[in-house]
Amino acid sequence: MLNVIRGKAFVLGDNVDTDQIIPAKYLSYNPADPGERRYFGMYAMDGVPAAQSGLPDGNIRFVRPNEFKSDYGIVIGGRNFGCGSSREHAPLALAEAGIRAIVAEFYARIFFRNCVNGGYLVPCESARRLVEQIHTGDELTVDLDNNQLANVTRGATYPLKPLGDVKPIIEAGGLFQYAREAGMLKS
């Protein structure tokens, strides 16, 4: 894991649920098959209402039609990000689309742990509300060592809450890799 994550922002609002992140109709793809797994990236955020995209025209798509990766690398969310079902496919879909980190006010706990345990994404919590401060397309950096988000486009910085006890799991690439490295599981 890099200690600094860079990418364009995709800004969402509050209560973005797992059905919006990856609608149930796309759960027929097999995440264990690399050829099918990439479709989770293609359809990531397909259920997000256009009005939540943070842009005036409301017509921006998270992933362009017929592509598997998003132009965005960091999602900015509001309160209760990842609420809804416990599907592990939601953070997987964002990771397959090329997202490396999410910064939200707070998360549904199961979504947060799915991000960490699967080694899919870095779920950072902001110390303050950012969805009105950052705009979709802004260039951002997330500094995990200094717990700071920088909006390069607007010249602003914001504090992030420390990752705490989950940081070693994220650095290892997920719970199973962490357990192997710590000698809890045999390789």
For every one of its 187 residues, what pLDDT tens digit does the chain have, with 9 covering 90 and above?
A: 469 999 999 999 999 999 999 999 999 999 999 999 999 999 999 888 654 555 444 556 899 989 999 999 999 999 999 999 888 999 999 999 999 999 999 999 999 999 999 999 999 999 999 999 999 999 999 999 999 999 999 999 999 999 999 999 999 999 989 999 988 987 6
pTM of the model: 0.92
Please state the domain extents for the chain.
Answer: 4-181
The confidence score (pLDDT) of residue 58 equals 54
Q: Are 145 and 180 in contact (CB under 8 A)?
A: no
130, 109 Cβ separation under 8 angstroms: no
- Give the amino acid at 54: G
CATH top class, domain 4-181: alpha beta
Continuous segment of H or E residues that includes residue 9: strand 4-11
Answer yes or no: are the C-beta atoms of 141 and 6 closer than 8 Å. Answer: yes
What is the model's pLDDT at position 59?
58
Closest CA to 126 of 148, 147, 105: 105
Task: Return d(Cα 111, Cα 128) in angstroms, integer.
Answer: 20
